[in-house]
Amino acid sequence: MSRIPLMAGNWKMNLDHLEATATVQRLHWALQDANFDFNAVEVAVLPPFTDLRSVQTLVDADKMSIVYGGQDVSINPAGAYTGEISARMLVKLGCKYVVVGHSERRQFHGETDKLIGGKAMAAVLSGITPIVCVGEALAIRKRGEHVAYTLAQIDAVFGEMAQDLAPRAVIAYEPIWAIGTGEVATPADAQEVCGAIRERLASLYGRQAAWQMRILYGGSVKASNVASIMAEADVDGGLVGGASLDPAEFAKICRFAEHIA
């Protein structure tokens, strides 16, 4: 398998900059103690903006292999956009990734697929990898329309991106009903949608590009369920919320390969 799995911890609006450095330090120690192979699984943390400088300083000073990124980015490069953070600012802080279109931003900030596609494009143009979030609400799943709904999000978001740059994105399939609820999708549920997303990416960008793109699953991922989800063919990692705030638990999630039954 040529795709290196990515485990990304989405801290959301948790942990101040002092807690952030303590958490990253403990995560690093937990992985180091377990002789973790950082070349086999990429480990990322996605802290609040106010933590990024402290995380950068720590990661650089201790030459950690943990990478990091932001949880959102402006569609605009610079200017009179109060409260916004540009992709260039994130690059300056050493960010490798940025989340765009998380369901909480779609829900609480009215973000549209068009805006999200623009943000993803702003990220790739600056050299940051966007983690593009898609996924259906419970009512849509109950109607059996989750695949069509999620693919329509993919079409709309990626329609805003240049054909040659879009394959640099990572996708995160996060069924909204599984986020923060303890309600995890079954491995088959995750595979059904992640597989359909890869097929759609193949028709947009060709088989080879689609084969290389990483598709994450997110929604109540824990150490106890990660291995079975990661065993699915088209799941290349996890976007982990609550469980990533506990460095011991997140380290176990990153070590999923050791507990595949």
Q: Could you say which of 42, 104, 160, 174 is catalytic? A: 174
CB count in 10 Å sphere of residue 208: 9
Give the nearest distance from C-beta 27 to ligand PGA in angstroms.
16
Residues that bind ligand PGA (CB under 6 A): 10, 174, 179-180, 218-221, 239-243
| Cβ–Cβ < 8 Å for 197, 150 | yes
CA-derived radius of gyration, the chain: 17
The CA distance from 128 to 254, in Å, is: 22
Q: Could you say which of 28, 102, 111, 249 is catalytic? A: 102
> Among this protein's residues, is 258 annotated catalytic?
no
Asked whether the CA dihedral 84, 94, 197, 175 is positive or negative, the reply is negative
| Cβ–Cβ < 8 Å for 159, 205 | no
| CB-nearer residue toward ligand PGA: 15 or 205 | 15
> Among this protein's residues, is 102 annotated catalytic?
yes
| CB-nearer residue toward ligand PGA: 205 or 232 | 232
| Cβ–Cβ < 8 Å for 13, 236 | no
| CB-nearer residue toward ligand PGA: 191 or 220 | 220
Give the nearest distance from C-beta 92 to ligand PGA in angstroms.
25
Give the nearest distance from C-beta 102 to ligand PGA in angstroms.
6
> Would you please indicate which residues are annotated as catalytic (active-site) residues?
102, 174
